[in-house]
Chain A
Amino acid sequence: MKKPIALAIKWVLIAVALLGILYIATKLAAAGNVMAVVLAGLVGMGVLAVYATKRSVPLKYLVPGLLFMILFQLWPVLYTASLSVTNYGDGHLYSKEESVTDIIAQSVREVPDTPRYKMSVAIAEGGDPATADLVLLLTKPDGSTYVGDNAGLKPLPPTGVEKTPVGKITKAPGYTILTAKQANARSKDLSAIAVPTSDGGGIKPVGLSEAFEGKATVTYDSAADQLTDAATAPPSVYAPKDAKWVNVADPTQSFPQGWKENIGLANYSRIFTDSTIRSGFISIFIWNIAFAILSVLTTFLLGMLIALLFNDPRLRGKAFYRSLLILPYALPGFVTALVWKGMFNQDYGIINQTLGISVDWLGTPGGAKAAILITNLWLGFPYMFIVCTGALQSIPQDVREAATIDGANAFRTLRSIIMPLLFVAVGPLLLASFAFNFNNFGLIYLLTKGGPFNGADTSIGSSDLLITYAFRLAFSGSAPNYGFAAAVSVIIFLLVALMSIPGFRRTKALEEVN
């Protein structure tokens, strides 16, 4: 027997979900992504099928989680993987056709010793400003007036023509002059206009009030798939090579605009065959694991010790100490990291000054690693302290009393009773903390930016994590190369996944203590 209210709520929720999907689908349709619209439609039908009928009860629980997992976990992984087999990156963002159009458009130069025209954009009188053919009303510096369109330039009789003091035509019989807004709406048509001139150039608008005579120096021969640049003497010929237009006669010269193409597994083979990358990758990987393990270990030990200390019923003013200890956790991590960076300065930092030493913390590999671990200890121990305090308080007092009665001393109680129970609670958290620190981008980036760098190679820093290394490849450094960075990310993903499997098995074993 179903209550009508519950039924109503159910249908309202289904309607809301469907409306949401519809909204997303319209957005996707506006962006012209047919595939995604179809997918959204399928998801909508699925939602209806699962929740509107009485069948498939388990799915009713699983569908939201599944959907979000696909959207936020699976899709990014697949997208990254698909990107990793391309050369996508700076200079390789668009298609080959676009590179050709762009190179030709950018090669338009003003023909020397030609006049600058004052220009108004107009249409034949009575036409529709949104669709009628555009003409340019031009005034030469000597005051003579012309009408130009893609057919050619012809004189405009001066009778009835009105001009501004600088010569821009404001009124001409037989033509309607477009307002700035109307002309701007036709930007595409306007950029396609080139009034042909006798020397092979074309009069083209600059903005809305000037025109110049320009000529594209580059031409494309689609049969031979070659670009020819007439700006040099003799004209230079460019042919496609490695997704770029390279000069046939002098391969060191090429156009900066290349195109995106599939390069198969080249990015992966580069990771494994390039000796600098390979050795760098291995050293980064080792440090990355060491960093994650040491971070978890140090923060956990310190946090647990303090938690045990403050869990002692004899200690007074616990609330005060506890809130003080949480402070490093409450402060924004990036501020703290920058403050620590200042404190580690060799000459001006408070650490060297107080201790009277001259350690080059951030300039030597060992020093940088130590600095990172110290900072992360400061940032991380309050969290461990909080979770340990919570877990300790949930351990029932009678268990401890039982241990005492059985004759266990304090250390024995800690080792055999408290620690196993504690690990049940914090085990998964330690794993999560490991995974988090494995990709602790912010800390490294703010403190050392991955440095110091080994002399001959600035692509691999001695305190780099895989994630900062991939970031440098993708977004900074020499030439941003998303394709290659995606390949590195895929490898990182596989590594982390492989490492997590035994980890999660281990937590299962811990749970059996209960």
Chain B
Amino acid sequence: MHKRALGAAAVTGVAALALSACGGSSPTTPSDTGAAGTSKATTTGVPETPSGTAAPVRDANVDLVIWTDADRSKAVQKYADEFAAENGVTVKVQISTDTRAQFKDATKVGKGPDVIVGAHDWLGELVQNSTVAPVNLSSDVAAKFLPKAIEATKFNGQAYGVPYAVENIGLMYNKDLVPNPPKTMDELVAAGEKLVKEGKAKQVLSQFVSKVGNAYFAYPYLSAFPEGGIFAIKPNGDYDPNKVIVNTPDSVKGGDVLAELGKKKVLSTNVDDTNQDALFDTKAAPFMISGPWSVAKAKEAGINYGIAPLPSLTGGGAMRPFLGVQMFYVSSKAKNAALAQEFVTNYIPRKDVQLALFEVGKRPPALKEAYAEVAASDPDVKAWYEAGIDGSPMPNIPAMNSVWGPFGQATADIIAGKAGAKERLDAAAKEITANIAKG
């Protein structure tokens, strides 16, 4: 009995461990997947690493507490130390394994940090739960950032943080197999099928679909058509949760493309996060639709890769990816609100800070000046940026939480040929609308 109990405890513990590792970011946001590069920054303080996956414990004697993931912690620590020295205060950077959930839960019981580092699409949920405070950048500082990055930090017209990086997906291609990136999906399929026929590749394209679908990767097929997408845009530029457009005629056109590519085996529900990179890195697939987080692995595998914008679809325009923006938030229940605001508004917009954060994440910086400097020396960053130039920020309204599951599953079913695009997207729209009404 004891052994069994132990076994059960171990399994639950392990499940909890695995859960906290996979949870957090919405099923589709790959913002946490990247671990490219390491920080060369020398640090005086050492980021506090949590034991296991539990939320960090807030130190009551510190003047400013910042939670971040492990990758960014060193870069944040360096400037946190500088800030501490300059202001005569103590700052602690703590590593949170699942900032989104842990921040929400810790704040609820008054033990949350003052500042967190996170993705912009958490915003709606954080506002809904009264956990973040507005951050008021002056208009001349805001003008130094990419307009889309600033747009992403806003909810209901109010700004809630300072951005530092932008990420999006693009087309990665194997230069040894395909010298020039295709401009259209038809060209891509033709080039890929030729390689498969010649025996130089096993399949045309590697794209994360999975059995439950992936809304983040499927969205660009809809957005290639003018009226296609997930939510309509309100006059003030916000996404409108009351206007779900996943089943408009234009969205269905995108769905038809998914169906066709599924039939041709270009897209497959058997490709998911576990094998997507491997397919490209073993040269089984000459093309992969992915983001900056895949670069490090491709480099390690010795692939001569290129990065290009997503191709355009026949009858529509270019596939436009979602933009994900990484940003610093200030907690609405911050114990050290003044210092938190000071750090976020005065330090994060600095060029050297943005460059240091670039070094650990290799995502295009959100500060124009920093981006210009990086883009001049790093062709990958420039390519990623250009692949996302027509993209729009991922919706940050809470209603988006109702979309990931139903819309993702719909695209998986369409790709697998289980249902027609029109019928399936209609059903998804119905479910999304019902979920939003419930929430």
Contacts and interface: CB of A to CB of B under 8 A. Distances in A.
A341 B274 contact: yes
B14 A442 contact: yes
Interface in B1-58: 1, 3-5, 7-8, 10-12, 14-15, 17-19, 23, 27
Given A184-B89, A208-B342, A346 B125 contact: no
B18 to A, nearest CB: 5
Interface stretch (A54-62, A405-413, A470-478, A500-508): A470-478
Contacts of B139: 110
Interface of chain B, main secondary structure: helix
Nearest to A449: B212
A186 B4 CA distance: 54
Interface in A204-245: 205-210, 212, 214, 231
Nearest to B124: A256
Chain B CB within 10 A, most for which of A108, A116, A458, A477 = A458
Contact-residue size bin, chain A (C-beta under 8 Å from the other chain)? 35 or more
A429 B439 contact: no
A280 interface: no
A429 B402 contact: no
A348 B268 CA distance: 11
A347 B18 contact: no
Interface residues of B, number: 80
A409 B245 CA distance: 73
Chain B CB within 10 A, most for which of A184, A363, A441 = A184
A110 B15 CA distance: 47
B153 interface: no
B376 to A, nearest CB: 29
A68 to B, nearest CB: 14
B69 to A, nearest CB: 19
Interface stretch (A78-86, A149-157, A175-183, A261-269): A175-183
B157 interface: yes
A37 to B, nearest CB: 17
Contacts of A479: 398, 401-402, 435, 438-439
Interface stretch (B178-186, B329-337, B387-395): B329-337
Contacts of A481: 439
B242 A252 contact: yes
B248 interface: no
Interface stretch (A15-23, A91-99, A304-312, A486-494): A91-99
Given A91-B398, A187-B335, A458 B342 contact: no
Interface of A: 90-91, 93-94, 98-99, 102, 105-110, 116, 121, 179-181, 183-184, 186-188, 190-191, 205-210, 212, 214, 231, 252, 256-258, 329, 332-334, 338, 341-342, 345-348, 362-363, 383, 386-387, 428-429, 432-433, 436, 440-442, 445-446, 448-449, 451-453, 455-459, 475-479, 481
Given A451-B211, A458-B406, 13 more contacts: A90-B439, A93-B130, A109-B158, A181-B88, A186-B338, A187-B338, A208-B339, A212-B136, A334-B14, A342-B275, A347-B270, A432-B4, A453-B409
Closest 10 CB pairs of A and B: A442-B15, A207-B342, A479-B439, A180-B87, A207-B341, A478-B435, A478-B402, A256-B128, A347-B270, A187-B337
